[in-house]
Amino acid sequence: MPGGRRGPSRQQLSRSALPSLQTLVGGGLSNGAGLRCRSSSAVGLSAPPLTALITPEPVRHSRIPDLPLDSNLLFETLLLLYLLVALFVQYINIYRTVWWSSYSQPTASTSLNFHLMDAHLAVFIAVMLSRRLVWTLLSEVCVACPASPLCYVLLLAVRVCVLTLCGWVLCWTLLNLFRSHSVLKLLFLGYPFGVYVPLCCLHQDGSPSPAADCSFADADGADGALLRPRDFLKLLRENLRQQLSGVHTHTHTHTCPPSPELIRSEVQQLKTDFNRRIKEVLFNSLLSAYYVAFLPLCFVKSTQYYDMRWSCEHLIMVWINAFVMLMSHLLPPHYCDLLHRCAAHLGRWQRLEPGSCSNTPQHTWSDSTIWPQGVLVRHSRCLYKAVGPYNVALPSDVSHARFYFLFHKPLRLLNLLIGIECSVVVYQLYSLLRSERWNHTLSLGLILVCNYYVLFKLLRDRLVLGKAYSHPLGSAGLGMKRD
């Protein structure tokens, strides 16, 4: 009616003020983009879903107890003992005899064919396996001794003498092996190091990490630059020192950085350090299995019979056990908790189809904003949904998504190691029940003793950490703190 009261027009409704993303999320948008609808125009919605745009709460972390850890010297000693036992088991599998049947032959009077064994090869393998223990022992002595010129000279003399002795033993064994074996067999002695240098030392990571070690190439497309000769020699020296020592001191502490740039920088540093540790675990476990179980098979005479299937099975078991032992030592609970805390601040983005959420408010991703859970953003012409409660990751970065997947659950790696070790122990117990030969029973019994110790430590850590992480987040009691 002409004299009636008119309501607001359609243009006035469309221009009604909406709460900004800075008010809802807690951070300003540098690009000034507004909410988007199906037509991709900056038209506001009269009733935006505020449940998807809440301010992210501060991340709460569980405080784990101090678990007893083996020192570097103790761990290297236990690892060397395990590898020597595995080497002895492999020699039993290869050179066993039927010593109980008859004494008509001289070789049947003993349980092993000692005259067929090559003592120089055994000494060479033992020296190669003890390289980490020797260097760790020298490093621990240098740290424990007081800083004085006399102690420095004595320690330097002792280090030179020990390294000279090890080098002399290796040269003596190589000379004797060269006299009795062909050149083709001698190439197997240094094959792991010949593969390690071109694969791990010819390229370096392009990230600005202070570490001089090479690491795996990142999945975000960063190509390593080819090293110059001087840089290559320096990197090779650092890698050889790393393989000799195995001593790791990680001084990084998580301080819950408030800035998204600082969080992504911390993720990059931890990712580089984690890749370096994984590289060392893979190389040393494969190197141990190679020298313990594979190299003795390469020097067996063509007339010597042995059980190929059982020897190959022993090779796989040695590699898995060495892998689990190195993983549990180089990735202790406090280091995994550090990775978990950083992943909780990083968050993850889930890629969606372009037309799946057309009626939901969408925003343009900003690298200076902390995005809450459930918000939709556009980045590189793709639509992403925030999965974590705290999201600062780059949506198109696959390495960020992989980092969050691996470490947002603090017990994921520990559960994986327990699953691997339990599978090995169960299979060995099953093989022990079905074994009919004395060498199978003896070898399984010796290896199982070592596996029980590793499994005990893993289950102890899992029980304690499971209690710590399962504590309610809102409590102010046992081990909870708020950043």
DSSP one-letter string for 106-132: GGGGSSB-GGGS-HHHHHHHHHHHTHH
How confident is residue 8, by pLDDT bands cut at 50, 70 and 90? very low
How confident is residue 448, by pLDDT bands cut at 50, 70 and 90? very high
| 143 pLDDT higher than 50 | yes
| 480 pLDDT higher than 60 | no
| Whole-angstrom distance, CA of residue 378 vs CA of residue 288 | 49
Which residues have a Cβ under 8 Å from the Cβ of 465 and sit 6 or more positions away? Answer: 64, 67, 333, 410, 411, 414
Q: Please, are residues 291 and 91 in contact by the beta-carbon 8 Å criterion? A: no
The CA–CA distances, whole Å, from 442 to 74, 128, 333, 367 equal 26, 25, 34, 61
How confident is residue 414, by pLDDT bands cut at 50, 70 and 90? very high
Average pLDDT over residues 323-327: 95
| Whole-angstrom distance, CA of residue 290 vs CA of residue 333 | 29
- Give just the sign of the alpha carbon dihedral 135, 137, 139, 145: negative
Average pLDDT over residues 84-91: 93
| 30 pLDDT higher than 60 | no
Q: What is the pLDDT of residue 201?
A: 53
DSSP element (H, E) containing 377: strand 376-379
Average pLDDT over residues 101-105: 52
Average pLDDT over residues 19-34: 40
| Whole-angstrom distance, CA of residue 362 vs CA of residue 343 | 25
Mean pLDDT of the chain: 76
| 88 pLDDT higher than 90 | yes
Q: What is the pLDDT of residue 100?
A: 55
**Which is more confident, 274 or 380?**
274
Q: What is the pLDDT of residue 34?
A: 41
DSSP annotation of 364 reads: E
36-64 confidence digits (pLDDT tens): 434 444 333 433 443 444 566 667 777 88
Q: Please, are residues 360 and 383 in contact by the beta-carbon 8 Å criterion? A: no
Q: What is the pLDDT of residue 172?
A: 92
Q: What is the pLDDT of residue 226?
A: 46
Percent over 90 (pLDDT), the chain: 30
Other residues' Cβ atoms within 10 Å of the Cβ of residue 224: 16
Can you say how many angstroms the Cα of residue 209 is from the centroid of all Cα atoms in its chain? 18
| 202 pLDDT higher than 60 | no
Range of weakest confidence among 33-37, 124-128, 324-328, 370-374: 33-37
At 225, is the secondary structure helix, strand, or coil?
Answer: coil
Q: Where are the alpha helices (DSSP H) in 53-190?
A: 72-95, 119-129, 131-144, 149-180, 183-187
Average pLDDT over residues 418-424: 95
| 120 pLDDT higher than 70 | yes
Residue in 78, 83, 82 with CA at minimum distance from that of residue 294 = 83
Other residues' Cβ atoms within 10 Å of the Cβ of residue 251: 4
Q: What is the pLDDT of residue 247?
A: 45
**Which is more confident, 3 or 185?**
185
Q: Quick one: tokens of 79?
A: 């690892």
Other residues' Cβ atoms within 10 Å of the Cβ of residue 411: 17
How confident is residue 372, by pLDDT bands cut at 50, 70 and 90? confident
Instruction: Encode 442-456: b = buried (16+ Cβ within 10 Å), e = exposed.
Output: bbbeebbebbeebbe
How confident is residue 191, by pLDDT bands cut at 50, 70 and 90? confident
**Considering the entire predicted model, what is its pTM?**
0.76
| 89 pLDDT higher than 70 | yes
| 455 pLDDT higher than 60 | yes
**Which is more confident, 45 or 313?**
313
Residue 391 sits at φ, ψ, to 5 deg, of -130, 115
282-291 confidence digits (pLDDT tens): 989 999 999 9
DSSP annotation of 220 reads: T
Residue 26, phi-psi category: left (phi > 0), alpha (psi -120 to 50), beta (remainder): left
Q: Where are the alpha helices (DSSP H) in 299-437?
A: 308-330, 333-346, 398-407, 412-434
